[in-house]
Structure 1
Amino acid sequence: MEKMIGVIGGSGVYQIDGLEAAEWVTVETPFGAPSDQVLTGTLNGVKMAFLPRHGRGHVETPTTVPYRANIAAMKQLGVTDLIAVSAVGSLKEAYAPGDFLIVDQYIDRTFAREKSFFGPGMVGHVSVAHPVCADLSAACAEAARKTGVKVHEGGTYVAMEGPQFSTKAESELYRQWGADVIGMTGMPEAKLAREAELHYACVAMITDFDCWHPDHDAVDVAQVVAVAIKNAGKARDLVAALPDLLKGAAGDCATGCTHALDSAIMTAPEKRSAEMKAKLKTIAGRVLDL
């Protein structure tokens, strides 16, 4: 299979520079419309697809982002390697605004979102013990270093519902849990990418210290936006460095991303919903023999 890199851009990241034959395309999925059209093209000979997570102009809230449709759209377009770029707050002194962190674990505190492609008529249980692709994450870290940004490899992302920022008590609690950064869009995106058997990595762009820090006791939106804009340029440079690091055929990885569904579907073949099978053709057709 030919490798195709997908990028889902967070706050401040609304495009990819330098795409050849760039075109915004409309994608319809069985799970509805994604946040926006998808920008497709090639970069250094590698096919690319870019989707602004909140839509151009930032019109979707963290809760209303159509996560299932976004991941399904990327899968339908042929994306094999998906990089999420997300603005986050830091929960540790060592991780400063302007730094990047390559996420390797999550704590999911969201509660108002559809978190699975599966459901009644087609029950699936996918392991997310290792929610990101180790190989793709390593490539993202290398790309970040090439841009000159300070990058931290490995860290735990707390996904909160939002749209409000944390209370100080919540921020202190997450620090006690050992979490490293906090954001509003990391979940269920990572879980859905796992169900879709995509290689997935998250580049967390740190914009602030959340509200735990004694010198930053309240998150200022203007400050967050200003740092996010600066980070966005670094993020675009990171994305531009990825094709050279990821060239070659798509295939298996150390994390087993492309075989996440091997033993996940629990519903007996004779009890599987025809409607659900049709909806899941792109996501799970490999294991449903579709």
Structure 2
Amino acid sequence: MPVSHDHHERTIVAPAIIAGVGVHTGRRVRLAVRPAPAGSGIVFVRTDVNDRDNRIPVSGEAVVDARLNTMIANAADVRLSTIEHLMSAFAALGVSNAVVEVDGPELPILDGSALEFVRLLDRAGFRPQSTPQTYIEILEPVHVVEGDKHAALMPCDRYEMRMEIDFASAAIGNQVIDFVVDEATFRSDIMAARTFGFAHEVEALRQAGLARGGSLENAVVIDGDDILNPGGLRMEREFVRHKALDAIGDLYVLGAPLLGRYEGYKAGHALNNKLVRQLLATPSAWREVTRVPELAQAG
């Protein structure tokens, strides 16, 4: 009987390499994803750091800054930022174990979505491992609130997500997406949605020495009620789809797929990490389970 990736850990078959520019530093970085043994999780390695421990295993506690992106650090304070789009691809494609080598302080932004990372992983191929996959099952609701923003995890027999955003700009407005987080849906509805920002914010970030690599090549840029990108949007509700993409990556720092429903309203990286920490601080709200999902037998 073939092993389905629905209930065994997975890694990739062969290493795969991609290069691009970091959105904040504007520096060119090279990234290599390599296979890893079962039970080792996702580990990032800063290959440009050689005077101290350069391995940063991903965990909820490893996230040190989530204002503009998701940044992780290790005990030696070696940092790496903008991991969320690759983490989102790992989560959706069921990659439990991998080593990601990066020769700079942030991952390449590529086109601002998870599309190139999915293509990279597809090139690498997937291999089931003998260890059964552990899931994080949500047993009771966990909520976090920050001003008018909120995010929650609730019990559910599968991984579902509802994301809602609300912007004054007519280019965005109020957008909602509600879906089952699985590989097929991620590929069709989520992975190509690009990050977005407002022209005045991008300018302010540049003044602060950030967003040096940001451009219309890797983000949807809005000025007032207008979208500045010549090609416009890739899909309807691209903005909220990207927020969902981010949330999938932000929650995968937990190290296992969820059996639960995530609901976010205006939720970004900082709130998602707050939710992750709140969950970890509430042991009664979750448990680790190993299970074979009740896959539909028909068809």
Normalised by the size of structure 2, how large is the TM-score? 0.31
Structure showing the higher strand proportion among its residues: 2
The structure where helix makes up a greater share of residues is 1
Give the TM-score of the pair, scaled to structure 1: 0.32
